[in-house]
């Protein structure tokens, strides 16, 4: 058991926890922006896949992974406009449209990838964004490398989380935004443009989901593989529920899922007796367990998932 307790093991476990938490947190924040305006999007997984592919291709062509990240986010935002138009303007069901994205976006991704690289079994290596090592601070034992030797996107995710918390809790635009997800009709009577807010929400949600996907191929691993997203979109979706639609909850929930993922990755090498497929199930099992615990918390925005029409009754 010694190997579990030494400082290096713990340090690298925590470091990797933050690394795998990053995309979950980004995407969960995106979904929070969506659901606070009443837009449940189960198509996060699909958007992430598109973001990952676009991000990788752009990063590969331009040898600029940062540009890949940006274009990945733009792509996510654009494809989510399909969902937005269909659910907001045409008022069709959010779940079925999210499902459609989950089918459309990965297929589109494979198409684009094969258009560019052809059908190949060769492993294509792209450029990755390197972690930034904050001088001095990163020399602190254990905490140093965990907190101050991370990828810039990891820092971005946590800063964004804090800004989001301030936006929703302290600012007036944040209050107006929440009203759209709670009681859109009331918001409308107070002069808030509900339809516009909902479109903005979808664009933010798509951009963050695309960014989270692009992170996987430009920061986390440098190669492209189909199925790299591996259900992370759905985990992020549950993190929003498990986190009780609050930013602090979201951070804790994604850290929990990230931690289980990091643990199972370590155990795969340490405990080869257990088939790795079983260990790989851990993050998903913890997601289900988390949803059991939350059941119906009553914290959800009241008009979440409900189509809105101005002259409707």
Partner 1 sequence: MNENVLQMKNITKKFGTFTANDNISISLRKGEVLTLLGENGAGKSTLMNVLCGLYKATGGSIFIKGEKVKISSPKDSTGYGIGMVHQHFMLVEALTVLENIILGKTEDRALFIDRKGTKEKIEELSAKYGLGIDPDRKINQLSVGEQQRVEILKALWRNAEILILDEPTAVLTDEEATGLFEIIEKLTGDGKSVIFISHKMKEVLNISDRIAVLRAGKLVSEFKRGEADGSTLADLMVGRHMVESEYSKMDIDDGVVFSARNISYNKESKHSGLNNVSIDVRKGEILGIAGVDGNGQSELAQLATGLLDPDEGEIFLKGEKVTTFSAKRFIDSGVSHVPEYRNKMGLIGDMSVTSNLILKSEEDPKFAKYGGWMTDAKSARGYAEEQKERFDIRCSSVDQDTGELSGGNQQKVILARELSLTPDLLVAAHPIRGLDVGAAQFIHDQMISARERGCAILLISTDLSEVLLMADRIAVMYEGSIMGIYDGQKPPTSEISQAMAGKVQEPSA
Considering only 62, 89, 125, 171, the residue that binds partner 1 (CB under 8 A) is: 171
Cα–Cα dist 279/264, whole Å: 5
CB of 312 to partner 1, least distance (A): 11
Is residue 118 part of the contact set for partner 1 (CB under 8 A)?
Answer: no
Taking the least distance from each CB to partner 1, the nearer of 96 and 186 is 186
DSSP 3-state of 93: coil
Q: How many residues are given for the chain?
A: 313
Cβ proximity of 265 and 258 under 8 Å: no
Is residue 246 part of the contact set for partner 1 (CB under 8 A)?
Answer: no
The torsion region of residue 244 among left (phi > 0), alpha (psi -120 to 50) and beta comes to left
Considering only 6, 115, 189, 269, the residue that binds partner 1 (CB under 8 A) is: 189
Of the candidate spans 20-28, 49-57, 169-177, 217-225, the one that interacts with partner 1 by CB under 8 A turns out to be 169-177
Cα–Cα dist 238/253, whole Å: 9
Is residue 9 part of the contact set for partner 1 (CB under 8 A)?
Answer: no
Is residue 208 part of the contact set for partner 1 (CB under 8 A)?
Answer: no
Residue 241 to residues 22, 296, 302, Cα–Cα distance (Å): 18, 9, 13
Cβ proximity of 253 and 229 under 8 Å: no
Is residue 190 part of the contact set for partner 1 (CB under 8 A)?
Answer: yes
Tokens of 10: 């713990």
Of the candidate spans 44-52, 105-113, 188-196, 246-254, the one that interacts with partner 1 by CB under 8 A turns out to be 188-196
List residues binding partner 1 (CB under 8 A).
170-173, 175-176, 178-179, 182-183, 185-192, 301-302, 310-311
């Amino acid at each position: 058991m010694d190997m579990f307790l030494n400082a290096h093991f713990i340090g690298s476990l925590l470091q990797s926890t933050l690394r795998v938490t990053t995309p979950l947190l980004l995407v969960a924040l995106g979904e929070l922006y969506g659901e606070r305006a009443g837009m449940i999007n189960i198509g996060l997984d699909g958007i992430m896949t598109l973001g990952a592919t676009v991000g990788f291709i752009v990063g590969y062509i331009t040898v600029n992974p940062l540009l890949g990240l940006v274009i990945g986010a733009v792509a996510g935002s654009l494809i989510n406009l399909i969902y937005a138009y269909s659910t907001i303007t045409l008022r069709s069901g959010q779940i079925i449209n999210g499902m459609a994205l989950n089918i459309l976006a990965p297929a589109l991704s494979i198409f684009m990838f094969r258009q560019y690289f052809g059908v190949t079994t060769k492993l294509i290596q792209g450029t990755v964004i390197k972690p930034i090592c904050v001088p001095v601070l990163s020399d602190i034992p254990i905490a140093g490398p965990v907190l101050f030797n991370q990828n810039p996107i990891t820092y971005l995710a946590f800063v964004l989380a804090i800004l989001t918390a301030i936006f929703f809790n302290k600012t007036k635009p944040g209050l107006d935004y929440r009203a759209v997800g709670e009681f859109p009709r009331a918001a409308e009577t107070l002069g808030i443009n509900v339809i516009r807010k909902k479109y903005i929400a979808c664009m933010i949600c798509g951009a963050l989901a695309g960014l989270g996907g692009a992170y996987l191929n430009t920061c986390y691993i440098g190669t492209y593989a189909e199925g790299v997203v591996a259900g992370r979109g759905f985990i992020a979706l549950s993190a929003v529920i498990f986190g009780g639609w609050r930013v602090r909850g979201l951070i804790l929930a994604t850290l929990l899922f990230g931690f289980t993922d990091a643990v199972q990755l370590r155990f795969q090498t340490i405990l080869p007796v257990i088939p790795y497929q079983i260990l790989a199930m851990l993050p998903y099992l913890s997601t289900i367990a988390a949803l059991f615990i939350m059941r119906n918390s009553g914290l959800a925005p009241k008009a979440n998932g409900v189509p809105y029409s101005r002259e409707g009754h």
